[in-house]
C-alpha cells in the first residue's frame, strides 16, 4: 500500500471518528419533573402551574401525564425519539400502563403525544391527532407555546378522565414530602421535652413508645398522611429513647441546634417552582400509540 493510500485511509478514519458521534441519537433527558423543558421556552411559573395541575390529576385519577420540550430530535424522527423517552421514563402505573407524554421538538416544529397501552382506548390515534391539530398547534403558530402546551395537557386530562381506571393507591406522594419540613422542629422539640417527661413518668422504653405514638398521631392529624405520620412517630421514638444517653449534648440541643439540623437535613424544602427531582414514572409500558403533528 502506497504512502498516499495510507494517508487517505487515516484521513477517512479521522473524519468518521468525528462525524459519526455527531450523528448519534439525542440523549434522553433525565426525568426531573412532570414538565421537563430543555429549551427555556416555559417560565418557572408556567412549569410550576402545569406541574401542579398534572400532580393533582395524578392524585385524583392515578394516571400520569408528562411534558418534554427539546430543541431537536434529529437525526431521529420524533416518533423514534418519543418512544425511546417513553421506554426510559416509564410514565404511568405498572400493569395499568396509564401514562402519556407530550413531546415537543421546538426547532424541528414537530410534536407528538405518546400514549401508554392502558390509555389507547381513550387517547386513540385519532383523538390525539385532534388535540394536536385543534388545540395545540394553533397556539404554537401564534407563538404561544405555554398556552398550547397547557391547553393540550388539559384536553388530554379531560379525555383520560372518561376512561375507567383503577383508583390511585393511598401510598405517599413523595412530591409532597416537603410538607413535613415545617413540622421537623416540632418533632424534635416534642421528642426531647415531652419525651423527657414521659420517660420520667413511664420509664425509658414505655415513655419513648408513648412519645412516638403521640407525635405520630399529631402528624397524622396535621399532615393527613399515614406514611409521614409513621415516619414522624419513629423519629420521635428513636430521639426520645436515646436522648438521655447523651446528657452532655442534650442541653445544647435544647438551646438551639434544632434549626440547624432541621433546615439543612434531608427534609429541607426543594424548588418551589416544580416537582424537580421528586417525580418518577410508575413503570408503565408503551407500544407506539398516539399521534404526531407539526406547525
- pLDDT tens per residue across span 141-192: 999 999 999 999 999 999 999 888 888 875 444 444 444 555 567 667 666 7
In this structure, is residue 266 part of a structural domain? no
53 plus 134 within the same structural domain: yes
Q: What is the pLDDT of residues 187-244, one digit of tens each?
A: 676 667 777 777 777 777 887 788 878 877 777 776 666 667 787 778 878 877 776 6
- Tell me, rounded to whole angstroms, the distance of Cα 270 from its chain centroid: 12
pLDDT of residue 183: 59
In this structure, is residue 149 part of a structural domain? yes
119 plus 53 within the same structural domain: yes
Find the CATH number of the domain harbouring 83.
Answer: 3.10.310.50
Q: Rounded to two decimals, what is the model's pTM?
A: 0.60
In this structure, is residue 271 part of a structural domain? no
Torsion angle in degrees (nearest 10) through CA of 135, 139, 141, 142: 160
Give 74 or 210, the one with higher predicted confidence: 74
- How far, in Å, CA of 289 to CA of 60, rounded? 24
- How far, in Å, CA of 56 to CA of 172, rounded? 14
In this structure, is residue 30 part of a structural domain? no
Choice among 94-98, 123-127, 194-198 with the minimum mean pLDDT = 194-198
pLDDT of residue 67: 97
191 plus 69 within the same structural domain: no
In this structure, is residue 193 part of a structural domain? yes
Ramachandran sector of residue 203 (left: φ over 0; alpha: ψ -120 to 50; beta: rest): left
162 plus 201 within the same structural domain: no
Q: State how many domains the chain has.
A: 2
Domain limits for position 56: 35-169+280-294
Amino acid at each position: 500500500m502506497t504512502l498516499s493510500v495510507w494517508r487517505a485511509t487515516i484521513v477517512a478514519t479521522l473524519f468518521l471518528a468525528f462525524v459519526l458521534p455527531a450523528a448519534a441519537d439525542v440523549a434522553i433527558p433525565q426525568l426531573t419533573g412532570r414538565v421537563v423543558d430543555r429549551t427555556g421556552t416555559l417560565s418557572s411559573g408556567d412549569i410550576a402551574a402545569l406541574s401542579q395541575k398534572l400532580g393533582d390529576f395524578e392524585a385524583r385519577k392515578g394516571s400520569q401525564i408528562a411534558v418534554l420540550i427539546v430543541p431537536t430530535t434529529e437525526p431521529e424522527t420524533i416518533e423514534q425519539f418519543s418512544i425511546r423517552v417513553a421506554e426510559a421514563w416509564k410514565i404511568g402505573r405498572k400493569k395499568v400502563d396509564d401514562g402519556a407524554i407530550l413531546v415537543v421538538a421546538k426547532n424541528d416544529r414537530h410534536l407528538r403525544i405518546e400514549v401508554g397501552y392502558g390509555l389507547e382506548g381513550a387517547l386513540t390515534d385519532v383523538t390525539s391527532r385532534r388535540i394536536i391539530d385543534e388545540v395545540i398547534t394553533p397556539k404554537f403558530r401564534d407563538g404561544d407555546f405555554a398556552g398550547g402546551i397547557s391547553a393540550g395537557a388539559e384536553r388530554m386530562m379531560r379525555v383520560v378522565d372518561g376512561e375507567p381506571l383503577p383508583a390511585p393507591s393511598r401510598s405517599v406522594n413523595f412530591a409532597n414530602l416537603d410538607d413535613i419540613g415545617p413540622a421537623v422542629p416540632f418533632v424534635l422539640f416534642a421528642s426531647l421535652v415531652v419525651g423527657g417527661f414521659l420517660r420520667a413518668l413511664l420509664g425509658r422504653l414505655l415513655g419513648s413508645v408513648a412519645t412516638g405514638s403521640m407525635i405520630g398521631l399529631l402528624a397524622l392529624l396535621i399532615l393527613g398522611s399515614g406514611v409521614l405520620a409513621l415516619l414522624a412517630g419513629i423519629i420521635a421514638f428513636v430521639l426520645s429513647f436515646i436522648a438521655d444517653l447523651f446528657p452532655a449534648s442534650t442541653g445544647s440541643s435544647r438551646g438551639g441546634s434544632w434549626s440547624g439540623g432541621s433546615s439543612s437535613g434531608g427534609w429541607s424544602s426543594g424548588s418551589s417552582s416544580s416537582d424537580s427531582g421528586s417525580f418518577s414514572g410508575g413503570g408503565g409500558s408503551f407500544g407506539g400509540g398516539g399521534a404526531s403533528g407539526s406547525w
